[in-house]
Structure 1
Amino acid sequence: MGALSIRNVRKSYAGNEILKGINLEVEQGEFLILVGPSGCGKSTLLAMIAGLDDITSGEVHIAGRKVNDLSPKDRDIAMVFQSYALYPSMTVRKNISFGLEIRKVPQAEREEAVARVAKILQIEHLLDRRPSQLSGGQRQRVAMGRAIARNPALFLFDEPLSNLDAKLRVEMRTEIKLLHQRLGTTIVYVTHDQIEAMTLGDKIAVMKTGEVQQFGTPQEIYRDPANLFVAGFMGSPAMNFIPARVVELGSGLGLAMENHGEQFVFPAIRGEALRLGQDVIVGIRPEQITEVVDSHGAAEYAVQQSLRIDLAEPTGPDTLLLAIINGAKVTCRVCPDFAVRSGEKMRLLFDLSKVVYFDPATEQRIR
């Protein structure tokens, strides 16, 4: 059994089922991300792991021990909130050591713990300041230091970076990743930000309306999404969804396409489960639609097609081009040196090796 086991956990409020049978297994030292839109149940699940909310049915095990009926203080967890939850009248040193003091940890051990976490988080120079004298990033470090000092079996992070500005979020994301690598701790981290999910997690549970839509590594979820929701939620810019009909193409199958009156057919690569005449949604990532360069010329499953560009959006390292295929807005990611202006045509290379197909009715993958 791993560090955290969630078995068929359900939660209902006034007859409304908020969590609908969650099953997750987290191994020792893994970084699990719970990600999804607001209201999907991720924070409710975290609160139930922490013991801050009751479980309607199912079981939660931490380090091999069933904790359903244990109070938060007896679950061997530490939690970091988005609001920091620091004591304003206490110094940083006192904030970090206060939880240990409550647990009657000897003073020498408390001082040693404070020194250890202050060095890990590089906040030694802040120990005698109060929270009001700290920046948002420094406060978040102190909140993490208070959790680390406990040396718990499980760390729980509830959207800890949501109150920070964009630049500081990126910096703190790196700090949390490095902290996990140094400590080798088990972390459950709630966020609605798919960039945080992709960069931080060893495993990701994508949630929607109280259910886990997919559970796997970041690359598994990005490259092999289970349904339209996961495919559209994970990735920035999001995956392109092109409605198409399966047609004949030589001795095989193709996908009928149209761009501003020009019709063409793409081969249905990896389309063994498709059938002639079927309506499908073709999923292709923006980075799989690029400029044509010589090195791509012989690439397997590479198809070239000229499209009229409706919008160009320079981002610095890339330029995002918007084209309309079968009535759907399609984002292409190209090198700025090759980008054309809005209204012009550009020959683009489609890498169909990672294309995925969805059923328009069920929104599930066609496999």
Structure 2
Amino acid sequence: MTSVRTALVIGGGIAGPVTAMALGRAGIEATVHEAYPSAAEGSGVTLTMAPNGLAALRWVDAERAVEEVGLPMRRTVVTDGRGGRIGAFPHVAVEPVTLGLWRDDLARVLRERAEAQGVRIVYDKRLVDAEQRADGVLARFADGSTASADVLIGADGIRSRVRTLIDPQAPGPQVLPLLNLGGAARYAVPDADPEAMYFVFGSRAFFGYWVQPDGRTAWFANVPDHRPTSYAEASQIPRSQWLHRLREVFADDVPARQVLAHTEPDDLVAIGSIESMPSVPRWHDGRMALVGDAVHAPSPSSGQGASLAVESAVQLARCLRDHPDVPAAFDAYERLRRGRVEKVLRRGRQTTSTKTVGPVAKRMMRLMMPLALRTFLDPERTLGPEQRYRIDWDAPVATELAAGRS
């Protein structure tokens, strides 16, 4: 039985509300502290929630709410910039199916579910420091206020303040040589399969999209660029300028050029360079621990960022539930999670590297893809174990650790 009764969760994006809900189910009262003054609507673009992530949301009674704002994605179609099909493959045959959705919709729904379960979310609370004491943690915020609880959980994203409090020498995110942009076009790509994701290896850059029931096309673009660009820097560039650049980059590629032609500047979001986390040496210290992107942010190409965050939130709560000693609980949590998430981190980096291949490699891809999809790129073989992973909330954590499952 846990000795923990209260928790401070730092970060109100995706991992934070799920962590608070999972802790609540474990009998721990959690309060979420979000740095921004209000709910950050419109931040981010599209993402996917994999079957393993949706299954984990079931344990915090949020699966149905997320399904209502997502679109089922049952297959992926890969084409070149001329519209020629390189390959197509079904997604892993497992329920629930992968969802395509907007990040702000996902964050909103999770906040709403958390608040409906009694979780308090406090805004404009940017963490600056934390003091560990024998009986808990005292958090200090930029506005001069403080808060205390038995434990503090850092769900504060890829630039986590909690990560640097746990380990001042902790690594920061690695920048990948691709810009990440996205948006919605007031246009539906003709004859597009409504349950398919489309990946386009264009002449100069990578383009992804799916068509929504409202007649719009949700899209994202990854453009090679070796100059690191932060989200803040990308946001300072006018959206019309970004859109002009994208229309030049994809001028020879279909249907990217048509989608971009029907995109308005206000419907575009520039994220900046793609980032992912390297292996983080210290996941916890004393009464503080990390969850989600703060400790294991994969490249967006993995399709697992949100799902891994949800899994870790649930597993962290289970470990605190089952261990009366906080450091032992956090150690069990890391043992359950590290191996699994680092496999996904490696796969995400490998997938991202394929988005920068040159024309010769693209020709080889066209020739080899049919064979590859029947052998080493078979979705069941490459993604099946990853997406079939399921958490058993009711099982003792000790039993899972003894079985060596991760």
With the length of structure 1 as denominator, give the TM-score of the two structures: 0.24
Larger relative contact order (Cα-Cα within 8 Å, sequence gap ≥ 6): 2
**Larger relative helix fraction:** 2
Structure with larger Rg: 1
**Larger relative strand fraction:** 1
With the length of structure 2 as denominator, give the TM-score of the two structures: 0.22
